[in-house]
Amino acid sequence: MITALILSIILVVLFVGFVIYKDKKFPESISAMVYTLPGDWKWIWSIWMVAVSILTYAPTIQILDPRGLGFLGFLSMVCLCFVAVWPLFDLEHRKLHYTLAIIGGILTQVCVAFINPYWLFLWIIIPGIVIYDLWKNKKFLVTSKYGVMIAEIICYLTTIGSQLIYKL
C-alpha cells in the first residue's frame, strides 16, 4: 500500500512538474491540463490520471473495506477514471467531465473523513488564501484563477496524508 502511494506521489509530481515546465505557468486545474495538451498528449494525461487514481484509491478501498465502506473508495476511483477518459471521447461537453470531477473530489473527502478526519483541517488553507488575496491584491486574483487547482491539491494531500498516517 505504501508503495502504491509513493508511486502515486511520484507520478503526480513528475507530470504536473512537466506541464508547468512545458507551459511555463501553473495550471488552473488538473482537468484544464488535458484541454491545453496537443492530441497524443491527451492519451498520456488520461493514462496518467487513471494510474494515479488507482494507485491512490486502491489503498483507500483496502483501508475502508473492513468497515464495509470500501465502496466509497471505489466510487471515488471510478469517478476520477471517468474524468480521465472523458476528454478523449467528448471534448464538447465539458460539463459532465467537471461534474464527475466535483463528485469524485467530494467522495475523496468523505473517504478522508472515515480514515482520519483530522486531515480535513487542511481545508483551512482556502480561507487563508482568500484573506491573503483580499489583503494583498484587494480582489480574488489567486483564488479566481487557481482556486480549482488549490482544491484539487488539498483533496489529494488529505487523501494521501490520511492513508499514510493510518498505516503508520
For residue 7 the three cell numbers come to 508511486
Across 32-36, average pLDDT: 78
Q: Give the pLDDT confidence score for residue 168 in this predicted structure.
A: 60
Better-predicted residue by pLDDT, 32 or 151: 151
Select the highest-mean-pLDDT range: 21-25, 42-46, 119-123: 119-123
Query: Between 96 and 74, whose confidence is greater?
Result: 74
pLDDT band for 119, please (50, 70, 90 cuts).
Answer: very high
User: What is the overall mean pLDDT for the chain?
Assistant: 89
CA distances from 49 to 73, 85, 147, 165 (A): 16, 9, 20, 24
Average pLDDT of 97-124? 94
pLDDT > 80? residue 38: no
Q: How many residues are recorded in the chain?
A: 168
Listed range (27-31, 77-81, 86-90) with the worst mean pLDDT: 86-90
Q: What is the DSSP letter of 29?
A: -
What is the pLDDT at residue 111? 97
Cell of 51: 494510474
Q: Which of 149, 159, 163 is nearest to 33 (CA)?
A: 149
Name the pLDDT band for 91 (thresholds 50, 70, 90): low
| Crossing angle between the packed helical segments 141-167 and 125-137, to the nearest 10 degrees | 160
pTM value is: 0.89
Instruction: Determine which of 47-56, 84-93, 119-128, 143-152 has the lowest per-residue pLDDT on average.
Output: 84-93
Give the C-alpha separation, 145 to 27, whole Å: 9
Q: What's CA 26's distance to the chain center, in Å?
A: 15
How buried is residue 95: exposed, middle or buried, by Cβ count under 10 Å (0-12/13-18/19+)? exposed
Helical H segments across the chain, by residue range: 2-23, 30-36, 39-64, 70-89, 94-115, 125-137, 141-167
Q: Quick check: 166 and 63 in contact, CB under 8 A?
A: yes
